[in-house]
Amino acid sequence: MVRRSRTSLNPFRMSENRFQDAFGRGRAQVGDSETQYRSDPMKHLLTPALIVLGGLAQAQPMLPGFDRMDVSSTHRARPLDASFYYPADNRTYMTVIGDNPIFDGVRVYMGPRFAKGAHPLVLFSHGSGGSTDGMAWLMAGLAERGAIVLAVNHPGSTSGDSSPRRSVRLDERAQDLSAALDRFLAEPEFAGAVDPDRIYTLGFSLGGATALGLAGLRFDAGAYAPYCQDGGNDGAKDGANRADCVFFDKGGVDFGNLPAGFSADMRDVRVTGAMAIDPAFTFVATQDSVAALDMPTLLINLGKEHRLGASDMGPQGSGFAARLPQAQYAEIAPAIHFTALPECKPRAAEVLEEEQDDPICTDPEGTDRKAVHEQMLDQIAGFMGLD
C-alpha cells in the first residue's frame, strides 16, 4: 500500500471518492434501521418487481430521480461520464450513490419520470480529485427541493485521475459542462422539464472556479506566479506554501507559463446565475471580468477561524466577495473546506489517520457536518427561489 503524508494535503485535489471505485455498496440508513446493500443479483432483480407491486414503494419516502448518460464533445477524445438528479414523478427502484467505506451514500430512484412542470437546472462542477458521485448529497438535496442538477466527471481532475498539469486547463472543464448541457437539452423529455430562464452553475473548490468561469469570470495567468510567491493565510510562512500552489508545483506546473485555457473566456450565455463554494483562483480574477459579471451570484465560504486561505473570499483573503457588490455572500462556521464532503462513517477518521491520508473526516470542534450541509442547501435553495 502506498502511503501519503498529510503534509501533501491539497484542497483542490479532493479525495472524497478515493474508496468508491474499488469497493461496492456499503451501508445506507433507511429510517431508523440500518439496511445492508450487498452485491446480490437476486435482490436487484426482485426489487423493481416489489416496487411495481407497491409493497416496498409505499414504505419509502419520495426520493430524487437519478440517471447517467454519456456526453460526446469536440474537445475530448472520449465521451464524458455525466449524471443528473431531478424531482421525480413516480417511484422506480432504489439505489445508493456514493456509498463507500469512508462516506455515507445517498438513496435515489433510478430513472423515474420527471416531475411535471419546468424546473431550474444546475450545472455542477466537482473539485479536483472529486467526482459526480462524491457530492451526491448536495445534488440529491437540491433535487428534493425542486431543481435538476447535471454534473460530469472532468477528465484529468477527477477521482483516480487528478493531474496537477491538467487541472489548470480551466477552459476544458467549462467546456465539459457546456457539452453536457447541449446533450441534455437535445433530449425532448429532458428539455421539456427545464426552465431555460433559470440555468445556474454551481461548483465546489476547483469546481467553484469552473462555475464562475461559465458565468463570465476570467483569471489572470500572469498574476498567479506572484500570488504563489506572496505571503498567504494558509498557515504558511510564504505563498510558495499555499495549498493550491504546492499541489500544482508537485505536478511541474510552470506558474509563469500557464496554459492559455487558464485565462480563456469560458462564458456560456445560457447561464443566468452562478454559485460557488470555497472556489479556487479568486485571488487572480481579472478586474474587467469581475466588473462585467452582473448576473445573480452566490458565494459561500466554509469556516472562519479554520477557513482555507486559498479559498477565502473575505477581507482577510482575496476580497472577492466585496468586489462583487451584487453577490450574496455567506459564511458557514464552524467548518473547514472538507466539511463540504459527505457525512463520514463512524470509524472513517480513524481509518484515514491509520493510512496517513488526508483528514477529510476531521472537522473543527463543535462542527455538525449534517447541519452544515443543511445550511448550504438552505443558502443555495433560497438563492434559487426554491423555498
Which strands sit side by side in the sheet containing 273-277, from one edge to the other?
94-97, 106-110, 65-71, 80-86, 148-152, 119-125, 194-204, 273-277, 297-302, 328-332
**What pLDDT does 287 receive?**
96
Instruction: Please say if the pLDDT value at position 59 is more than 60.
Output: no
Angle, in degrees to the nearest 10, between helices 170-185 and 206-214:
60
pLDDT band, very low/low/confident/very high, at 61 (cuts 50, 70, 90): low
Is residue 301 within 8 A of residue 312, CB to CB? The reply is: yes
**What pLDDT does 129 receive?**
83
pTM above 0.95, yes or no: no
Query: What percent of the chain stands above pLDDT 70?
Result: 81
Which is more confidently placed, 49 or 151?
151
Each residue of 251-278: pLDDT tens digit? 899 999 999 999 999 999 999 999 999 9
CA-CA distance, 233 to 227, in Å (whole number)? Answer: 12
Which is more confidently placed, 157 or 33?
157
Is residue 84 within 8 A of residue 67, CB to CB? The reply is: yes
Mean pLDDT across 307-326: 94
Instruction: Please say if the pLDDT value at position 285 is more than 50.
Output: yes
Map grid coordinates 421525480 to a residue: 88
Instruction: Please say if the pLDDT value at position 306 is more than 80.
Output: yes
Total of domains in the chain: 1
Q: Identify the CATH number of the domain in which residue 375 sits.
A: 3.40.50.1820
**What pLDDT does 320 receive?**
97
Instruction: Please say if the pLDDT value at position 197 is more than 70.
Output: yes
Q: What is the pLDDT of the chain when averaged over all its residues?
A: 85
In a domain, 39, yes or no: yes
pLDDT band, very low/low/confident/very high, at 163 (cuts 50, 70, 90): confident
- 134 contacts: CB under 8 Å, gap ≥ 6: 14, 16, 17, 20, 98, 103, 126, 159, 341, 342
Query: What percent of the chain stands above pLDDT 90?
Result: 72
Is residue 78 within 8 A of residue 71, CB to CB? The reply is: no
In a domain, 1, yes or no: no
pLDDT band, very low/low/confident/very high, at 11 (cuts 50, 70, 90): low
How would you label 194-216 residue by residue, b for 16+ Cβ within 10 Å and e otherwise? beeebbbbbbbbbbbbbbbbbbb
**What pLDDT does 233 receive?**
47
Mean pLDDT across 74-87: 95
Instruction: Please say if the pLDDT value at position 39 is more than 50.
Output: no
Domain span holding position 287: 6-384
Is residue 274 within 8 A of residue 200, CB to CB? The reply is: yes
In a domain, 19, yes or no: yes
Q: Cα Rg for the chain, rounded, in angstroms?
A: 20
